[in-house]
Structure 1
């Protein structure tokens, strides 16, 4: 499988749609807008993971854990597993290309009709639930949910599923196999991705290394790619601003070293913006945008819900469960663990909607299984409640605990533990706020003390009682921890409403502008779980997907797009082809430009210094294949970044479609070489500029080696080419302190191994040093 994300240097300065986030809302939006013939750019904060690249050990998993708490506003924090610590409730979500679909349990289940008929939803949606059902069908067509195939194609009946059947019988409650977004046959899928079948390894929620899980990276995202969308990862979007008829999306590229130089944010222009960064992410971006002047509803951040999520354990049951993922022990053979969730005890059909719930089984992913024996013993002592008694049972339980401690999680008490995920209806009164330092704070004190969670605890006890185990609630749900909750299904914050008085967005996700009760920001949408104004009482991915499909259709109709849903699998493998290993580095240069100087660089520099018309840039230079870069006589790379020229524009300009040439022969002098820099620039004030720079590599004195390689002669033009009027000329230099920072930014890109990465960097260094030696020191 090829990567979908393009190199940073491929970002264009303007798009019809910029989509922020790549979970269900973002992936669907990118796919549908690209299918409508619009130019689409998708920004994802996380990295791209292909099957086989997800963590399969505790050490690897720990490197991808990102804990967000306190006052830190770091632009660089980035990990696949993102934990947000709140007051009363904490959130776990995924951060990678595919969003939380990479680390969820893939369950596609429709909400109850009573949920969608609730008056919390806008009237336009409640009166048109047929369009919601159409959205469900569209999402179903792409995500391909299906139940676990018991006793078919070599798939065994799972121990954990049989245990759920026994619990359901004991509770006199409906049992069923769930539709899950997992592939159970080897095939080329409907968008051209080769997918193997599920091996039942149980590691769905740390990332599917098999490739059988139908994340959005397996369907909607490659479909967007097939229809021309540009996809970029490690892009931290901070806020959006409206400028005349278009939007400006401000972002920070992660991991390229711009933070070393305190470089300003970059931006792209967009006719339309879709915020799909999740309940926390989309809310945070709107809060930050509001601080920059965007008018939004006072309801922003309100009606946050954890979807009534409760995690629990039926520990050390008399029944064997096999609920432990394989991790590094995974094979191509079909194992006896199974996908993370396969079955449900459905307790939703109750007279009181708010008392209904769904109870599903789960698995502990392999990378963290080594933590389970000691942790579960400790929790069972602190907060556990044994459901059976007797001397014989006591000794059997102790023996199983002993086996788990000394033989590991595949044995004894842990192998006899059922994991439960319950979803129900909390009151949805969580609140998100932005503090003065730009940090999003999540607060819902006392939520875990709501009566519904006592009912949930009772149902988990009943399910565990049927199996003869010890009920352990969520480890944070106790008096000592003030009954804090953990949710994996954060919803709300940008809830739908009839007007700006009751919601942040309208029924199709368009943001209220505040000009009047129902006035809307043209071209600004939120399409993800943030717009859901209440808990849905079960896994929300299908609800989010259906609402997004519905909104995309409405937007296309409103704007007159031709949205084509035909599925034609491409003949060629989907993705970008990287044949070699590239190298990138980030460089800062500072100096002066003489505004109005048309001919002489030194005069321009002197004039700029006298008038204090400073000029500086922070640019990232990338070569996609170092061997091709060296062998080609143009030694060409791509360049992207920002430039600051306060005398031209108060805010930083963003540089796109930049070209860089290293040590190319001067056409007019065989003894001279040049380093060329050219780039188009866009201004936050709406203007376009063009930048040219060169370093003159010529040995008139050996001591010039440092000066020549660190001095850039620059020209700035109006417009988008050197055919425009000259704004000014000048000169930039690299300071020693900035050069040392620059050296720390040199890294290999898309290497197939660490060794290849080291070789690529070595080749680049050898090429650079060789040219300096040849020019200045060779006899």
Structure 2
């Protein structure tokens, strides 16, 4: 597969549409509007990482973390993992062409219908039927399926035994991964999953249906220009009514200016919950009138990542990579199965617990991670025998999602994004998850480890890899930042409550005004497809969503 991104010198001063960000929201937008005949530019702050180039050793992986706290920052702006350490909560997001799809587990679930009838959403979301069409289109392009051999994976069997002892039956998770050789909707050949377990460090097989293998190449095939290493700082409207996006080079090139401006009558912010919210907060500080709700209703989606240490039987939940580090050992995808805890009376009590796998690049550092919790003996044993045979062969990893109160709030401090959520660690969801995970681990004969890094700079704050909100949908500007079509409300003194900035959109997880209770990738994609349906209808455009023909060999 040829590279998608262009040299920075190819950037034109003006396009019909500028899309900031290249995750699910940005990918959908770029594909659909390029298919509609628009001249589209996609701006991504990270770098392009071709299949086969994701880190497989810790010596490579350790350079892929950008860590930012209140008074410090370390690592490259081009690192794949962007870790924000906060006073009340930590947030992990991805950086690279394809956004979070590069390093997520690909779990693709539809939320309980009660989520969308909640008063947090504008009524049209549940009423006009276009979200259902959005989900249909999202599934057609991301192609989520359950691994047909999920129940054969050791980590699934361990979850199954523990779940049944608690009266809960696991199911195979639907994931955006292909388990047979195929061709993506963008016409790109994809190899079948090898069940190496490395999804969350980047799929070197090419089996995961990332945005970089689906929507983005489709956009390029229809004429979109893609640029990496550029970060949007602000948006403002010129006297001619055209939007101006100020860009800064996150990876400066010799002889190129560090800053530049690009123009378009339509700008779509799709830089993720943190990125899009920060751009709008900085733009408001520069004079753009916005809703007073900007930065409000941040949700961690009831997330938790936790571990079980010392299970009585092997779990095989550490990836082997591709090519495999251990011959003949199948781990499965990062997530093969889950237990769904349902509550027909109280939506906030529902949660999903998924068995997970840590990528192979983490293998050599796992013993060190668990030393702070007093497991020095096991760590030393694993250093001698290796994590695939020692105590870490019985390490359990859990990814869980549920519901929280979406009470976090973003602001700018010293021109940087800051998150405040007083008493976030006391959200009821965490006690529920701790209780269930403790029981599951105990049934396997292990000890529950909520955070192996609790004695380090990570502290005891909760952490999320599924940040939502900050630019939430609302009925009007007193209720949200964007309307149900993802158009940004105009906060000017003389504007009406439902007036919008013509041509300015936010289309990503930032518009979701509450927790989803499931991994959000499919919902973000569906909301993006829905926004494009409205965009086309409002502007008299048309496009097809038929898959492309396979690329020539």
TM-score in terms of structure 1 length: 0.68
Structure 1 74/317 Cα, relative in aligned 2: closer, same or farther at 3 Å? closer
- Where in structure 2 are the equivalents of 1:324-723 lying within 5 Å? 324-327=318-321, 330=324, 335-379=329-373, 403-435=381-413, 437-475=414-452, 483-514=460-491, 515-572=495-552
Q: What CA distance in whole angstroms lies between the structure 1 residues aligned with 2:182 and 2:326?
A: 15
SS at match of 1:553: helix
Does the aligned pair in 2 maintain the 1:57–1:327 contact within 8 Å? no
Find the counterpart in structure 2 of residue 246 from structure 1.
Answer: 242
Q: Does residue 218 of structure 1 match 2:213?
A: yes
Find the counterpart in structure 2 of residue 287 from structure 1.
Answer: 281
Does the aligned pair in 1 maintain the 2:22–2:42 contact within 8 Å? yes
- Where in structure 2 are the equivalents of 1:87-98 lying within 5 Å? 87-98=87-98
Find the counterpart in structure 2 of residue 666 from structure 1.
Answer: none
Q: Which has the higher strand share?
A: 1
Structure 1 288/465 Cα, relative in aligned 2: closer, same or farther at 3 Å? same
Greater RCO between the two (CA within 8 Å, min separation 6)? 2
Deviation at 1:328, TM superposition (A): 6.8
Per-residue deviation, residues 268-300 of structure 1 (Å, max 9, x unmatched): 110100100000000000011112211111111
Q: Does residue 191 of structure 1 match 2:186?
A: yes
Find the counterpart in structure 2 of residue 133 from structure 1.
Answer: 132
Does the aligned pair in 2 maintain the 1:553–1:563 contact within 8 Å? no
Q: What CA distance in whole angstroms lies between the structure 1 residues aligned with 2:92 and 2:503?
A: 30
Deviation at 1:476, TM superposition (A): 5.9
SS at match of 1:125: helix
SS at match of 1:14: coil
Alignment equivalent of 1:266, drawn from 260, 264, 283 = 260
Alignment equivalent of 1:319, drawn from 279, 295, 313 = 313
Per-residue deviation, residues 512-555 of structure 1 (Å, max 9, x unmatched): 00212110000000000000000101101111111110011011
Structure 1 104/133 Cα, relative in aligned 2: closer, same or farther at 3 Å? same
Find the counterpart in structure 1 of residue 158 from structure 2.
Answer: 163
Structure 1 72/270 Cα, relative in aligned 2: closer, same or farther at 3 Å? farther
Does the aligned pair in 2 maintain the 1:305–1:427 contact within 8 Å? yes
Q: What CA distance in whole angstroms lies between the structure 2 residues aligned with 1:33 and 1:334?
A: 45
SS at match of 2:384: helix
Does the aligned pair in 1 maintain the 2:188–2:550 contact within 8 Å? no
Does the aligned pair in 2 maintain the 1:287–1:434 contact within 8 Å? yes
SS at match of 2:152: coil
Structure 1 272/256 Cα, relative in aligned 2: closer, same or farther at 3 Å? same
- Where in structure 2 are the equivalents of 1:193-212 lying within 5 Å? 193-212=188-207
- Where in structure 2 are the equivalents of 1:139-158 lying within 5 Å? 139-150=138-149, 157-158=152-153
Q: What CA distance in whole angstroms lies between the structure 1 residues aligned with 2:485 and 2:329?
A: 43
Deviating more after overlay: 65-74 vs 219-228:
65-74
Does the aligned pair in 1 maintain the 2:370–2:452 contact within 8 Å? no
Per-residue deviation, residues 313-339 of structure 1 (Å, max 9, x unmatched): 111101211001124762797741111
Structure 1 345/81 Cα, relative in aligned 2: closer, same or farther at 3 Å? same
Q: What CA distance in whole angstroms lies between the structure 1 residues aligned with 2:131 and 2:322?
A: 41
Q: What CA distance in whole angstroms lies between the structure 2 residues aligned with 1:110 and 1:528?
A: 16
Deviation at 1:207, TM superposition (A): 0.9
Does the aligned pair in 2 maintain the 1:31–1:220 contact within 8 Å? yes
Structure 1 292/342 Cα, relative in aligned 2: closer, same or farther at 3 Å? same
Of structures 1 and 2, the larger Rg is shown by 1
SS at match of 1:38: coil
Q: What are structure 1's unaligned runs of at least 5 residues?
A: 383-397, 574-779
Deviation at 1:381, TM superposition (A): 5.5
Per-residue deviation, residues 464-515 of structure 1 (Å, max 9, x unmatched): 1221111111346699977411100000000000111110000111000021
SS at match of 1:231: strand
Q: What CA distance in whole angstroms lies between the structure 2 residues aligned with 1:369 and 1:195?
A: 27
Deviation at 1:77, TM superposition (A): 2.4
Structure 1 560/83 Cα, relative in aligned 2: closer, same or farther at 3 Å? same
Does the aligned pair in 2 maintain the 1:176–1:343 contact within 8 Å? yes
Find the counterpart in structure 1 of residue 112 from structure 2.
Answer: 112
Structure 1 289/481 Cα, relative in aligned 2: closer, same or farther at 3 Å? closer
SS at match of 2:284: helix
Does the aligned pair in 2 maintain the 1:122–1:506 contact within 8 Å? yes
Structure 1 329/376 Cα, relative in aligned 2: closer, same or farther at 3 Å? farther
Q: Cα RMSD (Å) of the superposition?
A: 2.3
Q: What are structure 2's unaligned runs of at least 5 residues?
A: none
TM-score in terms of structure 2 length: 0.94
Does the aligned pair in 2 maintain the 1:199–1:332 contact within 8 Å? no
Does the aligned pair in 2 maintain the 1:20–1:43 contact within 8 Å? yes
Structure 1 311/247 Cα, relative in aligned 2: closer, same or farther at 3 Å? same
Q: What CA distance in whole angstroms lies between the structure 2 residues aligned with 1:350 and 1:32?
A: 37
Per-residue deviation, residues 714-741 of structure 1 (Å, max 9, x unmatched): xxxxxxxxxxxxxxxxxxxxxxxxxxxx
Q: What CA distance in whole angstroms lies between the structure 2 residues aligned with 1:349 and 1:3?
A: 47
Deviation at 1:78, TM superposition (A): 2.4
Find the counterpart in structure 2 of residue 669 from structure 1.
Answer: none
Find the counterpart in structure 2 of residue 122 from structure 1.
Answer: 122
Does the aligned pair in 1 maintain the 2:66–2:75 contact within 8 Å? no
Deviation at 1:252, TM superposition (A): 1.5
SS at match of 1:19: strand
Deviation at 1:257, TM superposition (A): 4.4
